[in-house]
Amino acid sequence: MLRPMVKLKDYKKNFQPHDVPDALSKLVEFDAKQDGYFASGFELAVDDKGGMKTWSDAPEFLGALFPIGQANGSGSTYAFWQTGDGDLASAPVIVFGDEGGVHVVAANLAELLRLLSYDTEPMIDHDEVTYYKDPDDHEPSDGAADYTSWLAKTFKLKPAGTKDVTTIVKAATKAHGKAFATWMKKFYAG
């Protein structure tokens, strides 16, 4: 089965009226050169916000969310959350779980790129999101080594270990979790 490839001209639709953040443009280029997946469960995707519309179809809600890609193999989605002006790459990253749960996972795009280097799918429930990898039973994604090399070469970012992942998620939640939860309640009382 061939892995779907995202073309930058199509991917731009996810971020209108903004430009695709430069780091994501570079990730699209990197992804196009891969035969397999570089991070377990992650896939760049052109997204019409259909999954997010199940939370709310209010224009103010959808206008503040910009899909990045699939977070896992069952339909969860990573998205930027931006309620003002500014660079999307600096906006917090949210994960919308396919079975419920929505959480802040990274304070910005660079931190999401590091989370992806951990090469495991997020486990998302209503109360929390976790990234678990059994060190004795984990098989790396086909392009995982290429991705971590690319990440270091292109952005000078180190791959995330278990402690790094925990720190990234906790810091993002501490910095943006309450504000995001308050904002979400305007649209979804869940």
Q: What is the pLDDT of residues 31-67, one digit of tens each?
A: 999 988 999 999 999 999 999 999 999 999 999 999 9
How many independent structural domains does the chain possess? 1
Distance of CA 128 to the CA centre of its chain: 15
pLDDT digits (tens, 9 = 90+) for 125-162: 999 999 999 888 889 999 999 999 999 999 999 999 99
Element (H, E) at 172: helix 162-185
Please indicate, yes or no, if residue 2 is contained in any of the structural domains. no
- Is 73 within a domain? yes
Q: Has residue 1 been placed in a domain?
A: no
Instruction: For tokens 């779907």, name the residue.
Output: 4
Determine which of 5-14, 153-162, 181-190 has the lowest per-residue pLDDT on average.
181-190
Contact in structure between 147 and 30 (CB atoms under 8 Å): yes
How far is the C-alpha of 31 from the C-alpha of 51, rounded, in Å? 23
In a domain, 190, yes or no: no
Q: Is the pLDDT of residue 174 over 80?
A: yes
Whether residue 21 lies inside any domain: the answer is yes
Distance CA 24, CA 20 (A): 7
Residue 3 counted as domain residue:
no
Between the alpha carbon of residue 154 and those of residues 58, 59, 93, 115, the distances in Å are: 38, 36, 21, 16
Is position 87 within any domain? yes
**Residue 1: pLDDT above 80?**
no
Give CA angle at 146 (143, 152), nearest 5°: 140
Residue 68 lies in a domain: yes
The β-bridge partners of 171 are none
pTM comes to 0.95
| Among the listed residues 46, 87, 96, the one whose alpha carbon sits nearest the alpha carbon of residue 68 | 46
The parent domain of residue 50 ranges over 8-185
